[in-house]
């Protein structure tokens, strides 16, 4: 798994789950907290889908601290099973 693969998967999940963001460009610098459409349930959905794709288990207590794509990518890679 590469950082780019995680980024691409996260962007696809976001665009699929939040069609109003379909034209957005997501980079590691993207702050997910800037998108009002992505609420706490949206975060849970994104994280759990990424965990399933990459066989990663991010501790729930870390979820609230994942506010940027970089932090999300780092967590997926760090907690790979």
Give residue 33's pLDDT.
84
13 touches 44 (CB < 8 A)? no
Q: Which residue has the higher pLDDT, 49 or 67?
A: 49
CATH number for the domain spanning 73: value is 1.10.1200.10
Structural domain of 36: 3-78
Q: Name the domain count of the chain.
A: 1
pLDDT of residue 68: 92
Half-sphere exposure of 40 (CA within 13 A, CB side): 3
Give the Cα separation of 38 and 57 in Å (integer).
Answer: 21
Residue 45's Cβ-side half-sphere holds a number of Cα atoms within 13 Å equal to 14
CA distance 10 to 68: 11
- Give residue 39's pLDDT: 84
pLDDT at 51 over 90: yes
What local confidence, expressed as pLDDT, does residue 1 receive?
84
Higher pLDDT pick, 1 / 56: 56
């Amino acid at each position: 798994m590469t950082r780019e693969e995680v980024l691409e998967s996260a962007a696809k999940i976001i665009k699929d789950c939040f069609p109003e963001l379909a034209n957005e460009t997501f980079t590691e610098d993207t702050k997910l907290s800037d998108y009002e459409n992505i609420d706490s349930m949206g975060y849970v959905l994104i994280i759990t889908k990424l965990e399933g794709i990459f066989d990663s288990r991010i501790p729930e207590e870390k979820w609230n601290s994942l506010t940027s794509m970089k932090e999300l990518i780092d967590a997926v890679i760090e907690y790979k099973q």
